[in-house]
Amino acid sequence: MTPRTPRDVLAELTALTAEDVPTHGGATMAYVYDSGLAEVDGLAAAAQAAFQWTNALDPTAFPSVARVEDDLVAAGLGLLGGGPAAVGTVTSGGTESCLLAVLAARTRWRATHPGDDRRPQLLLPVTAHAAFRKAAHLFDLAVVDVGVDQVTCRVRPGDVEQLLSTRTALVVVSAPSYPHGVLDPVAEVAALARAAGVPCHVDACIGGWLLPFLDPAPFDLSVPGVTSLSVDLHKYGYAPKGVSLLLTGDPEFRVGHGYATAGWPGYPVVNPTLAGTRPAGPMAAAWAVHRWLGTEGYRRLARAARTATEQLVAGLAAVPGVRVVGEPATTLVALAGEDGLDVLHLADEMTARGWLLQPQPPFDQPDGTRLPATLHLTVTAATADRVPALLADLADAARAAVQLPPPVPDPGLVAAAEGLDPAALTVAEVDGLLAFAGLDGGPLPARMAPVHALVAALPRPVAERLLTGVLDRVYRPTR
């Protein structure tokens, strides 16, 4: 047998991507952010390669990495209203930025509430990214859900005001929210938080590198009461995955999410983030892309994506059976169904036409109101040329979807699931339930509507256990 060449190996690896959704071309409207510029890809790849063997764990060994991180933070602060004392941290992604914001807030709450052994609370609009729920779970805070207005999908400042208390460690607002792409009333909520002596985090993970180019309502660190802000470079910063910023006007804040120990026989450990060893490749790529695009490049891309979004929203008025939920503040659009059209079917129909629109289940709010099931569309500069094709496919898909009966989950399965204690289920039992639901570990069904409908119909803890089971099945190495 002839030995494999690196070229063979790469071909083998590339072949693995054949079943993936496309990362480029604008048809995958979640997960990926395509600038549409070939230079960005080439530059990012070369910059990653230049830093691929370094380690951001130790900035004294790799001062180049510290410089890259400082430059990224400076760029973020410059864009997002950081004052002279403002600082920041480069993290691995939006989730980590949100986790660290909550951790820092918990540290602060504990320091300012000595002897108070209650669990601190996280005041969370239901539309805030799930990363904050994960943070509360990991760092043992109690989530206080704040419902949103059913029409605008924005949190109401009055509701936040009522729920603020001496237990509140942090209030979160989104700029914009992931599910509906709407901008929370940042200035009003931040003012209320400030009056109560509570920090306020703006989650601008998805919008922070766009909004400054779109003339939005005030939302950044310059707004009184905003104490921290997260923004991802691996979204509309058009950098490859693995780089986000957590920014703050308060130099004390970073101490609250860092970790240091000299309490072991190895090297002194000082970690600003959750990881120890940290890859600097994505940071270097973000640095290079940012330097090349510059403010003008980002402005052009932001405007192109926003114009495409406006054309899409205008065109949707003529697509029967769908409506836009809320007022898209940036380039995210949430579509709900009407007149008998189920958006879960629409998602499947669009998949068959080569698009990925992300299904979001209906959601019952604490006050009993319900947010409808929606499809999430992330528009990027790469979608700009394809809006007419997207609208034509949506109209065609809507015609097909409205003919289909509502995706109703098997009532026997739902009834059986209601009696389950998810914590007591073994891996084998979960496998059995998934097989019963048609998810037996093979490729996912071509039509996912019944699966999403099932997840939405199950008691939430059971659904969560089954979702964990789905992933458990996906990650079983073939031997």
Ligand X SMILES: Cc1ncc(COP(=O)(O)O)c(C=O)c1O
Residues lying near ligand X in the complex (CB under 6 A) are found at 93-95, 98, 129, 131, 174, 178, 203, 205-206, 232
Tokens found for residue 94? 């939006």
Q: Which residue has the tokens 């939302």?
A: 219
At its nearest, how many Å lie between ligand X and the CB of residue 238? 14
Our CB check for ligand X shows the closer of 175 and 193 to be 175
Helix axes 281-316, 38-51, angle to 10 degrees: 150
Cis geometry, peptide bond prior to residue 176 (ω within 30 degrees of 0): yes
Our CB check for ligand X shows the closer of 135 and 319 to be 135
Our CB check for ligand X shows the closer of 108 and 129 to be 129
At its nearest, how many Å lie between ligand X and the CB of residue 95? 3
At its nearest, how many Å lie between ligand X and the CB of residue 131? 5
Distance CA 191, CA 226 (A): 8
At its nearest, how many Å lie between ligand X and the CB of residue 31? 8
Our CB check for ligand X shows the closer of 54 and 360 to be 360
Which residues neighbour 316 within 8 Å (Cβ) at sequence distance 6 or greater? 322, 323, 324, 333, 335, 391, 394
Our CB check for ligand X shows the closer of 359 and 450 to be 359
**CA angle 462-464-467, nearest 5°?**
110
Our CB check for ligand X shows the closer of 64 and 358 to be 358
At its nearest, how many Å lie between ligand X and the CB of residue 346? 21
At its nearest, how many Å lie between ligand X and the CB of residue 232? 5
At its nearest, how many Å lie between ligand X and the CB of residue 321? 27
Distance CA 196, CA 189 (A): 11
C-beta neighbour count of 388 within 10 angstroms = 11
Closest residue to ligand X in the complex (CB): 94
Our CB check for ligand X shows the closer of 129 and 156 to be 129
Query: Per residue, what are the HEC states of 344-362?
Result: HHHHHHHHHCCCECEEECC
At its nearest, how many Å lie between ligand X and the CB of residue 132? 8
Local structure of 336: helix, strand or coil: strand
Our CB check for ligand X shows the closer of 203 and 220 to be 203
Q: Which residue has the tokens 């910063």?
A: 237
At its nearest, how many Å lie between ligand X and the CB of residue 98? 5
Our CB check for ligand X shows the closer of 203 and 393 to be 203
At its nearest, how many Å lie between ligand X and the CB of residue 247? 14
Q: How many helices (H) and strands (E) does the chain have?
A: 14, 15
At its nearest, how many Å lie between ligand X and the CB of residue 331? 12
The alpha-carbon radius of gyration of the chain (Å, integer) is 23
Distance CA 411, CA 453 (A): 11
Helix segments in 80-152, DSSP class H: 94-112, 131-139
State the number of CA atoms in the 13 A half-sphere of 349 facing the CB. 21
Report DSSP state, residue 363: E
Our CB check for ligand X shows the closer of 131 and 402 to be 131
Q: Which residue has the tokens 């180049």?
A: 64
State the number of CA atoms in the 13 A half-sphere of 347 facing the CB. 29
At its nearest, how many Å lie between ligand X and the CB of residue 358? 10
Our CB check for ligand X shows the closer of 178 and 219 to be 178
Phi then psi for residue 379, to 5 deg, are -95, 130
CA 315 to chain centre: 26
Distance CA 404, CA 346 (A): 10
| Pick from 285, 205, 212: nearest CA to 245 | 205
* Cα dist from 45 to 54, 76, 242, 289, 375, whole Å: 15, 22, 13, 10, 32
Our CB check for ligand X shows the closer of 293 and 329 to be 329
